[in-house]
């Protein structure tokens, strides 16, 4: 099966042939979006580790500041997307935005994968349509993989991060080609740097991918061929892209309702972008727990691609090693950093950070499919029963088998779990909470789920109600106390005591008997001096 690069006869057939990769990518992205749209959450949700959605939505639609590291690229992109959406709530817009960006990520990954496969020596033995089939199989496997799918139907930053992963990979491939051709590509370098900086404005963990891949791209003409004219445009573009973080001090200076850390000061800005509040989580896992997490990450890889996909990935690594050794090394370095960070970050949802690693693994899997298809002649010689069977029929059977075992198995086993089309738990909770509120109410909340959903309901969905949601875990921060005082001066005491419990009690004492007070989280109350009376989904605080 030799490569046939001759375009077919006919104007339209020739055009389709020339644009076959782009058309196939668009088709795969469209099918992926259809899957995600079918399973999309209709609004605010706590499922799939998406409790932060209320915080991100509130920040995006009030031009505010969410939890560190601020995610300015995501906030601006989501707000811009929402302005062109003709229907639905802000929460629905956030979920659709994730579905679109995740689908686009799969489409771009298909293009990047096909470009990599075409450079492998083993691909010279195949017709180009088999390259596209292999890239399509691996892209379909990513689309149906549990982790990416879980983030494509909720409001979170990881779907957009996946899009940046595919874009950076394509940019690195283009950079490599220009370096090998000795083209300076100043404008291209600026674009690559700009893309990288903007991507870092969405999620800083993508640096684990950007650094090794761009180094690989720069080495396309050899280390000795690298000149300042190659590096400076990328660095300059990255600085320009990172300017997206100026969103934080500019937005903070306007005193929005949500203003984590007040990053309009130097101290507050560093607190925000460095994630000071979460630094204790990073590399906070060790001992037997670390071993358990490492085993869980291996199990998660099997859950994404099944055992057959794992074998194809391993086989594909050897094929890439034979043809693109430096690329494989760069990818392995990126995967190693991502795995090390994910398994040592002390949160339950840290394995979501592995999505970029799974995307890189899919390229190895695609190379494994190419290797499998290239070995059909050897299979026919080894198995007498196949000698009279057409190559195309064998190839079709193998491809269908991979589709059934990898993305097909994932669809069958995960659809029920990941289908959020009827999930209204978070939205119903927030709406039900507001249904029982009296005039000028104050609600104390203590979990991410209740705090962020009540923020969204108060500051975005039902602003006319003038509800004062109080996050008890944040009240220990002076910046949060000052925000509450500026927003609700009549409901805040004149003095600011020390400690979370003392500050909570001070707010209650200041308003008890004057305004209705509520507790959102039963079983977590640490104020025994007050009585709690059930009132719908909330608890009313009484003397």
pLDDT mean across residues, the chain? 92
d(CA 293, CA 353): 13
Phi and psi torsions of 535, nearest 5° = -145, 85
| Residue 460, in any domain of the structure | yes
Between 461 and 185, residue with greater pLDDT:
461
DSSP letter assigned to residue 241: H
Between 300 and 481, residue with greater pLDDT:
481
Range scoring the smallest mean pLDDT among 1-15, 277-291, 306-320, 502-516: 1-15
d(CA 91, CA 98): 11
CB contact at 8 A, 39 and 419: yes
| Residue 284, in any domain of the structure | no
pLDDT, residue 11, reads 64
Same domain, 85 and 57: yes
Tens digits of per-residue pLDDT, 396-405?
898 999 999 9
Characterize the bridge pairing of strands 517-519 and 442-445: parallel
Name which of 353, 497, 511 is nearest 442 in CA terms.
511
CB contact at 8 A, 279 and 331: no
> At residue 262, does pLDDT exceed 70?
yes
Overall number of domains in the chain = 2
Same domain, 406 and 535: no
pLDDT, residue 6, reads 57
Same domain, 536 and 467: yes
Instruction: Give the range of the structural domain holding residue 242, as residue numbers without chain letter.
Output: 11-248+265-273+289-418
| Residue 253, in any domain of the structure | no
The beta-carbon contacts of 279-287 under 8 Å, at least 24 apart in sequence, are 280/346, 281/345, 281/346, 281/347, 282/341, 282/344, 282/345, 283/341, 283/344, 283/345, 284/344, 284/345, 284/346, 285/343, 285/344, 285/345, 285/346, 286/344
Tokens of 525: 């109350």
> At residue 368, does pLDDT exceed 50?
yes
- Could you give the 3-state DSSP secondary structure of residue 13? helix
| Residue 280, in any domain of the structure | no
Same domain, 372 and 516: no
Per-residue pLDDT band for 266 (boundaries 50, 70, 90) equals very high
343-377 b/e with 16+ CB inside 10 Å = b? bbbeeebbbbbbbbbbbbbbbbbbbbbbbbbbebe
Phi and psi torsions of 443, nearest 5° = -120, 125
Same domain, 408 and 482: no
pTM over 0.85: yes
Same domain, 412 and 429: no
Question: Which one of 418, 442, 473 terminates a domain?
Answer: 418
Percent of the chain with pLDDT strictly greater than 70: 95
Same domain, 403 and 503: no
> At residue 13, does pLDDT exceed 80?
no
Tens digits of per-residue pLDDT, 161-176?
999 999 999 999 999 9
Tokens of 498: 């020390």
Question: Which one of 373, 398, 418 terminates a domain?
Answer: 418
Tens digits of per-residue pLDDT, 112-156?
999 999 999 988 888 889 999 999 999 999 999 999 999 999 999
Average pLDDT over residues 239-244: 98
Name which of 16, 15, 23 is nearest 107 in CA terms.
23
Same domain, 393 and 491: no
Tens digits of per-residue pLDDT, 330-360?
999 999 999 999 999 988 788 899 999 999 9
Same domain, 362 and 396: yes
| Residue 332, in any domain of the structure | yes
pLDDT, residue 314, reads 95
Between 385 and 128, residue with greater pLDDT:
128
Question: Which one of 397, 418, 439 terminates a domain?
Answer: 418
Tens digits of per-residue pLDDT, 440-465?
999 999 999 999 999 999 999 999 99
Range scoring the smallest mean pLDDT among 4-13, 90-99, 250-259, 412-421: 4-13
| Residue 166, in any domain of the structure | yes
Same domain, 351 and 457: no
Same domain, 330 and 431: no
Per-residue pLDDT band for 74 (boundaries 50, 70, 90) equals very high
pLDDT, residue 226, reads 85
Same domain, 307 and 224: yes
pLDDT, residue 3, reads 44
| Residue 211, in any domain of the structure | yes
pLDDT, residue 1, reads 41
| Residue 192, in any domain of the structure | yes
416 CB neighbour count, 10 Å cutoff: 8
> At residue 7, does pLDDT exceed 80?
no
Question: Which of the listed ranges 59-68, 177-186, 298-307 does the model predict with the highest average pLDDT?
Answer: 59-68
> At residue 5, does pLDDT exceed 60?
no
Question: Which of the listed ranges 276-285, 353-362, 516-525 does the model predict with the highest average pLDDT?
Answer: 353-362
pLDDT, residue 216, reads 96
Average pLDDT over residues 433-446: 95
């Amino acid at each position: 099966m030799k490569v046939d690069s001759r375009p077919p006869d006919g104007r339209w057939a020739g055009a389709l042939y020339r644009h076959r990769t782009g058309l196939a990518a668009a088709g795969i992205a469209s099918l992926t979006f259809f899957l995600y749209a079918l399973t999309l959450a209709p609004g605010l949700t706590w499922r799939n580790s998406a409790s932060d959605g209320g915080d991100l939505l509130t920040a995006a639609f009030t031009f505010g500041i969410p939890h560190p590291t601020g995610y300015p690229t995501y906030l601006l992109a989501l707000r811009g997307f929402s302005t062109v959406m003709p229907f639905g709530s802000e929460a629905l817009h956030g979920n659709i935005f994730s579905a679109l960006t995740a689908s686009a990520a799969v489409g771009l990954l298909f293009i990047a994968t096909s470009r990599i496969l075409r450079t492998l020596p083993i691909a010279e033995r195949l017709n180009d349509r088999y390259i596209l089939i292999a890239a399509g199989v691996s892209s379909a496997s990513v689309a149906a993989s549990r982790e990416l799918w879980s983030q494509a139907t909720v409001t979170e930053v990881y779907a957009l991060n996946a899009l940046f992963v595919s874009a950076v990979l394509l940019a690195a491939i283009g950079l490599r080609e220009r370096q090998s051709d000795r083209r300076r590509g100043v404008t291209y370098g600026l674009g690559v740097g700009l893309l990288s900086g903007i991507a870092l404005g969405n999620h800083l963990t993508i640096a684990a991918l950007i650094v090794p891949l761009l180094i690989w791209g720069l080495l396309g003409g050899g280390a000795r061929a690298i000149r300042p004219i190659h590096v400076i445009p990328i660095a300059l573009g990255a600085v320009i892209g990172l300017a997206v973080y100026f969103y934080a001090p500019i937005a903070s200076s306007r005193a929005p309702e949500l203003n984590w850390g007040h990053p309009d000061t130097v101290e507050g800005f560093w607190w925000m972008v460095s994630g000071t509040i979460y630094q204790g989580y990073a590399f906070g896992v060790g001992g037997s727990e670390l071993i358990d997490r490492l085993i869980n990450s291996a199990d998660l890889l099997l859950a994404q691609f099944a055992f057959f996909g794992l074998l194809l990935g391993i086989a594909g690594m050897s094929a890439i090693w034979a043809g693109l050794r430096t690329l494989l090394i760069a990818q392995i370095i990126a995967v190693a950093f991502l795995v090390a960070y994910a398994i040592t970050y002390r949160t339950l949802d840290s394995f979501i950070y592995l999505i970029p690693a799974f995307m890189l693994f899919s390229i190895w899997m695609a190379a494994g499919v190419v290797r499998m298809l290239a070995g059909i002649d050897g299979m026919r010689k080894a198995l007498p029963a196949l000698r009279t069977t057409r190559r195309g029929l064998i190839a079709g059977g193998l491809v269908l088998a991979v589709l059934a075992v990898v993305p097909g198995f994932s669809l069958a086993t995960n659809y029920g779990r990941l289908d959020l089309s009827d999930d209204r738990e978070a939205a119903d909770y927030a709406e039900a909470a507001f249904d029982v509120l009296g005039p000028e109410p104050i609600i104390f909340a203590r979990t991410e789920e209740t705090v962020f959903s009540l923020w969204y309901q108060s500051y975005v969905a039902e602003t006319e109600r003038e509800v004062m949601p109080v996050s008890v875990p944040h009240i220990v921060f002076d910046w949060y106390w000052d925000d509450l005082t500026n927003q609700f001066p009549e409901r805040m005491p004149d003095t600011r005591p020390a400690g979370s419990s003392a500050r909570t009690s001070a707010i209650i004492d200041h308003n008890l008997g004057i305004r209705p007070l509520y507790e959102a989280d039963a079983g977590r109350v640490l104020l025994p001096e007050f009585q709690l009376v059930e009132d719908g989904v909330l608890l009313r605080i009484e003397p």
